[in-house]
Structure 1
């Protein structure tokens, strides 16, 4: 699984600098495993591999560090049982996504959704709300920040429900938005197609 994600990221990355950084991060993670450590947190990999050229933790967490974050997350889910349980619990259907990059992007979107849901519940718990109609510059682009996905992320989501991609894999879309293979096995649960389409519509309608 790690090798699939690693090779996919290298293949999709055009920047020689990003490719080199991915190779260094993968090397640092391999060395962590050889030392018997299963700590693949972003902060640890950044600290351990800093002298080799691994970016600082905050840089990896930024939008520009998405490829690095995906690779580190692959190591986390492969060798950190508590991380796998937390991310996969109740969402086993995500593991049926064959394309590694799309699978981890979906996990990332689900994580962001849980965070937003928690914030929504917090807002609902507020009984008295004081409204300040004075707009701040930092608030004007809040929606844009929430939807500031990279072009590769948008392409990956679009590919997941693209008709030609589905035809090449001999899959079929059902009337309820599921995707099944030629033997009738479910690849994506019902509602998947419409959910991805709504995400893409929301993205493009806010541009």
Structure 2
């Protein structure tokens, strides 16, 4: 069964709360697929989706998390050949297999997957060859027009405030996105970072 069919089957026999958790895990796994990172371990998926309704890794590993592990295994099975080919062809990471401690080896594999995901996200935000101009606003005089007015500053502060996020059931992700209660992106990656920088520099 493909992951979507597994999700449907699991939700048919789950409580509403468990169904929402399954949906959250499914969305995180789909994002991993889109990034080309086929790492679906409880620790990685939990870390990526902690603010989006995914339980902690220990909860997934426990007996009560069996349905969540089943969904993760569906993604692992789907990409088992791809994952193997990546490992065998990627000489840069072969040294990880030589680490004798299994726990350390697993941890480093997870970190490697997150690094690949971060690099891919960075390439999406800043395409190769793109020119980036950096201005040191903190050490240069700015005209009054370039600075935020009090009203503009309060508006930006409100966008990333807990009051605003709670009112609309929004939350932020580690990529600086603002997402709704279902994990759908409302404001794209780096939005939170951009607002914070604007408040500091303008």
Is the structural similarity TM-score above 0.5? no
Which is higher, the Rg of structure 1 or of structure 2?
2
Bigger relative contact order, structure 1 or 2 (CA pairs below 8 A, ≥6 apart): 2
TM-score (norm 2): 0.39
